[in-house]
């Protein structure tokens, strides 16, 4: 048991929506999607700032849910999937952490990751 409920829409999802940042760019948060967060974060294209990203939280979902979040935070978009690090986005991430306290398990990331 992972400690949260997944409704049927999430059970048919293609992965998770992840929120990440880079220490060298604390002004940005990336909202993306992946079926496997660990391998996604190890991919070279997620090292645009010369370092691995840090996982902030994930929520169940796939490309549809990712598009919803991109729309919800469109006013914070800087470029592509990168959004301005604001109190509004931090509060959203906090609410997701409360809703999915075992988000690292959901991401398949484990305790040793990000």
Residue 74 belongs to a domain: yes
Is residue 45 domain-resident? yes
Longest dimension (CA), the chain: 39
Render the burial of 54-71: b for 16+ CB within 10 Å, e for the rest: ebbbbbbbbeebbeebbe
Q: Measure the CA–CA gap between 28 and 36, rounded to whole angstroms.
A: 22
Q: What would the pLDDT profile of 7-63 be if each residue is shown by its tens digit?
A: 434 444 568 999 998 889 989 999 999 888 777 777 766 667 778 788 899 998 888
Instruction: Write down the pLDDT at residue 68.
Output: 94
- Residue 3 within any structural domain of the chain: no
How many angstroms separate the CA atoms of 5 and 112, rounded?
Answer: 24
114 found inside a domain: no
Domain count, the chain: 1
Higher pLDDT, 87 or 109: 87
pTM, whole model, 2 decimals?
A: 0.80
* Cα atoms in the 13 Å half-sphere on the side-chain side of 50: 2
20: containing domain: 13-106
Supply 6's token pair: 């997944």
């Amino acid at each position: 048991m992972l400690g949260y409920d997944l409704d049927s829409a999430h059970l048919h999802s293609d992965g998770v929506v992840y929120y990440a940042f880079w220490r060298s760019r604390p002004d940005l948060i990336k909202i993306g999607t992946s079926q496997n967060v660990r391998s996604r974060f190890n991919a070279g294209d997620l090292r645009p700032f010369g370092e691995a990203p840090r996982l902030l939280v994930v929520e169940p979902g796939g490309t549809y849910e990712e598009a919803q979040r991109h729309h919800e935070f469109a006013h914070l978009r800087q470029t592509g999937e990168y959004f301005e690090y604001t109190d509004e986005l931090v509060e959203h991430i906090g609410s997701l952490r409360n809703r999915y306290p075992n988000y690292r398990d959901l991401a398949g990331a484990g305790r040793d990751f990000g």
